[in-house]
Copies of this chain bind each other. A is one copy, B any other.
């Protein structure tokens, strides 16, 4: 059975020859060659990210310079070939190239080529880690995809409130950052208003690195005030998100409950999904299709 277009990232195969066959292998996640392709790809991504980690560690870098260099180019060429293949087997290559996954696939190979001109840019190869997010789809974790849909839905509904919240926080950050610059001054590390703002972000979010700290009594009083305000408003995003998530849950349950289970006699429609009879008047419920 064919999978829905959504799982194929909204793409179609180009023609019916070898390209259609490779399209199936690359873009589908069924058993057989397609599954083997996925396993090899995920393994290669993990290995290539690990190589980037290792290469960034000085002790490993100096001992295995050559090996890491070869591995890095090996993975990059492999992923480049894969990227070219993906472009070739889809009907509209541009649609793939401009999709989120296409852009991530491209970003995963570019840094190695850039490193020919800009040494050190191969650290950007860690964006390859984003490719691993495909795992949720490859493993057919539809329950995960559905639940992440709930989380995303609640975040989306909260977006305006969180923007309002962030603009209040940023206003606080500007004002307290400037106040600390005036109070503590460059002598105590607050060398500019932007530095003070960095400190205010670190403080109001309760991170508190301690690289910049108030020393004067007035600075400490202002800091305590900022912390207490931050402590009070840390509740706000949690409150927003929890309330929206609870609403999403409720509606989802409600939708499940009411899928075609309206009582034909008394029109009551709040029946649990497993109900066969209306619990108000006892009428047998006519289910309109399966759940």
Q: List residues of chain A with CB under 8 Å of any chain B CB.
A: 49, 52-53, 56-58, 120-121, 123-124, 126-127, 129-130, 132-133, 136, 143-144, 147-148, 150-151, 154-155, 160-167, 169, 171, 174-175, 177-178, 181-182, 186, 191-195, 197-198, 201-203, 205-211, 213-214, 217, 220-221, 223-224, 227-228, 230-232, 234-247, 249, 270-272, 274-282, 284
Contacts and interface: CB of A to CB of B under 8 A. Distances in A.
Contacts of A243: 242, 245-246, 249
Nearest to A225: B201
A175 B272 contact: no
A206 B207 CA distance: 4
Contacts of A147: 160-161, 164
A7 to B, nearest CB: 17
9 contacts: A56-B193, A57-B194, A123-B193, A147-B164, A198-B221, A198-B223, A202-B223, A202-B224, A277-B279
Contacts of A279: 271-272, 274-279
A166 to B, nearest CB: 7
Nearest to A129: B174
Contacts of A124: 178, 182
A132 B167 CA distance: 10
Nearest to A215: B211
A239 B154 contact: yes
